[in-house]
Amino acid sequence: MKKLNLFGLVLVVALATFSCKNTKEEKNPKNDKITENGVALTQKEMKQGSAIFFDRCAGCHGSSRKGATGPHLLPISPKGDNRPGTTVLGVAGIRAFIENGTPGGMPEWRGILSEQEIELMTRFLQVDPPIVPPFGMDKINKSWKLIVPVAERPTTPQHNRNIDNYFGVIMRDAGKVAIIDGDTKEKLVVLKTGFAVHILRTSASGRYIYSVGRDGKITMIDTYPKIPTIVAEVKGGFDARSVEVSKYKGYEDKYLVFGGYSPAQIVIFDAQTLEPLSVTPTAGNAVDGDKEYIKEARVASIVASHSNPVWICNIKERGVVDIVNYTDPKNPKITEIPAARFLHDGGFDSTGRYFLVAANASNEVVVIDVPNEKLVKIIPTGIKPHPGRGANIKNKLGNLWITSHLGENKLSFIKTNPGKGQWTVVKELKAPGIGGGELFVKSHPKSHHLWCDRTLNPDPKLNSVVDVFDTNTLKLVKTLPAPKGVDGRAVHFEYNKAGDEVWVSYFMGKKSAIVIYNDKTLKVKQIIQGDWVQNPTGKFNVYNTTHDIY
């Protein structure tokens, strides 16, 4: 298995050190062994198990193992949860899940985790999870580094390149972000950002690119210098998946919001310097009536409204959508909209008025009217919808927003314009082959194609290809295999600014690559490979990201 970087290790060691008080725990001072629920681990194994869990499992099963997209992994089932505790599954049961994955979207870890790691996890998952320590304003402030103060930054671009067509590409395992000139396809720079960077977002002006990673670190990149440069860094927590900027008129490039997975909190920063302004924990009651109080209420996707000064923050485990007004960033007003569990990823419809987000434990898509801060509809779609930010297309059925599904082979087309069928699924499509594992879809207003991946499908013949559909006929146009010399799983799409090229990442294989297709001919235009292309994942075109074009 890939080694954690130094920071990752320090972090997980810190987390593991905060092991919870456990009544069933017996310590043997001689060999420092923890014996619990019939299994034994040394302190060293506990730390290694925490590291593996944090790196590979926490995203789906929750940092405290209470479950989210995936089931809980607690030794004993919480009240009301009829899924077995890990002590009921035992070593053999846990091993079967880890090695084979599940049809519900859990990947098979055999071949990714070593035998020693799998064996360790069968024991680690049977003891109580470590407690996550707080990460408040003092710690956030201490982590803040203003590398280039605003006064020392250029006031105009120091080059003649077209920043609008720059691409930020995540090299996940290297903890780096590459900035590529989309016009010339030149790599401008590869910057060390943070452990397992997850997404990038661009400022409203398009000048700055912000990354956020599984280490909770935000990195701010300035595109005005000849070579894009890191100008500020800060940590908003131990673990995160999202970051977004203020985009409303008058607030361009002013504020930035961070969505914490661990601890679960919303942190607002000055978007020019990354100076922290406020921290708001997201803990609270769950949406579905039982008044369950959820401490680990992680912040999943975030989008910025173009029509009012708010961010839409999706509180995963609670199933509520927080509309965060940033006009007073030190004391943000938050309006909570009860929706469905567990909120994950989503994006705008083509008008930018409605936000659609997957509730992947309910198999539904939630629609929010952003200017009016209201729930419009909760739409059943399929097993574990996973749209990324979704895709918007237009044809005789109307304006359609599309989600793919992790848990089954299904693309669902939701009509978004007024008239008969609005906010219902008006069409469903299957990609070739069986099983789900779809992670992302993408289109562009200038294109007649809809692109779909099968990244988490266990079959290598399916997870290495991408399917392209015609947006008018909704028929499959072509299944594109990994080009010669490229190996791995295909993941995530991004168009260039003109909408005539599609960039696809190949990761988790022996020959990582970014493959650029001509969107009209579906022919490979260029393959970007090299030592610096290491497990590329998300790609973000500056213009499309700033303007929410997908």
Q: Which residues bind ligand DHE (CB under 6 A)?
A: 58-60, 69, 172, 198-199, 241-242, 300-302, 344-345, 388-389, 439, 455, 491-492, 537-538
In order, the DSSP letters of 80-147 are: T--SPPHHHHHHHHHHHHHHH--TTSPPP-BTTB-HHHHHHHHHHTTSPPPPPPP--HHHHHHH-EES
Minimum CB distance to ligand DHE, residue 153 (Å): 26
The single residue listed with the structure tokens 């030592």 is: 531
> Checking phi first, is residue 250 left (phi over 0); if not, alpha (psi -120 to 50) or beta?
left
Nearer to ligand DHE by C-beta: 301 or 412?
301
129 vs 538 by CB, closer to ligand DHE: 538
Nearer to ligand DHE, 39 or 54 (CB): 54
What is the smallest separation between the CB atom of 244 and ligand DHE, expressed in angstroms?
A: 6
Q: Which of 121, 171, 220, 344 is catalytic?
A: 344
Q: Count CB atoms within 10 A of the CB of residue 287.
A: 23
Q: Catalytic residue among 46, 61, 72, 220, which? A: 61
Q: Could you give the CA distance from residue 189 to residue 160 in angstroms, rounded to a whole number?
A: 16
Identity of the residue, 123 or 454, whose beta carbon is nearer to ligand DHE in the bound complex: 454
Catalytic, out of 46, 60, 171, 508? 60
Strand partners, 211: 200, 219
Cα–Cα distance, 45 to 92 (Å, whole number): 19
**Minimum distance of ligand DHE from residue 419's CB (angstroms):** 29
Burial 61-85 (b: 16+ CB within 10 A, else e): bbbbbbbbbbbbbbbebeeeeeeeb
Nearer to ligand DHE, 47 or 198 (CB): 198
From the CB of residue 162, how many other CB atoms can be counted at a distance below 10 Å? 15
Nearest CA to 34 among 124, 118, 121, 132?
Answer: 124
- Output the smallest distance, CB 122 to ligand DHE, in A: 20
- What is the closest distance, in whole angstroms, from the C-beta atom of residue 455 to ligand DHE in the complex? 6
Nearer to ligand DHE, 49 or 59 (CB): 59
Mark whether 57 is an active-site residue.
yes
Catalytic status, residue 448: no
Residue appearing with tokens 């995160």: 240
Give the dihedral sign, CA 352/318/212/518.
Answer: negative
Task: Retrieve residue 373's tokens.
Answer: 């801060």
**Which CB atom, from 161 or from 172, has the smaller least distance to ligand DHE?**
172
- In order of 221, 373, 493, the CA distances from 408 in angstroms are 38, 31, 20
* Distance, C-alpha 419 to centroid of its chain: 33
Q: Is 519 helix (H, G, I), strand (E, B) or coil?
A: coil
Phi, psi (5° rounding) for residue 121?
-65, -30
Residue whose CB is nearest to ligand DHE in the complex, by number: 59
Find all residues with CB under 8 Å of 442, minimum gap 6, and list them. Answer: 388, 391, 450, 451, 492, 493, 494, 495, 502, 550
Please state the closest distance from residue 297 (CB atom) to ligand DHE, in A. Answer: 13
Q: Give the number of residues written for the chain.
A: 550
Best CA proximity match to 481, nearest among 458, 504, 499, 449: 504
- Shortest Å, Cβ 241 to ligand DHE: 4
List 386, 444, 449, 492, catalytic entry? 386
Q: How many C-beta atoms lie closer than 10 Å to residue 86's C-beta? A: 26
What's the closest the beta carbon of residue 19 comes to ligand DHE, in angstroms?
22
Beta carbon nearer to ligand DHE, 58 or 379: 58
| CB-based burial, 140-158: b 16+ in 10 Å, e otherwise | beebbebebeeeeeeeeee
Give CA–CA dist 333/109, Å, rounded. 43
Which residue's CB is nearer to ligand DHE, number 70 or number 75? 70
What SS3 class is residue 204?
A: coil
CB 66, min distance to ligand DHE, A? 14
Out of 46, 72, 106, 452, pick the active-site residue.
Answer: 106
Give the nearest distance from C-beta 40 to ligand DHE in angstroms: 28
- 171/274 with CB nearer ligand DHE: 171
- Is the bond leading into 536 cis (omega within 30 degrees of zero)? no
Residue 267 identity (one-letter amino acid): V
Catalytic residues: 57, 60-61, 106, 344, 386
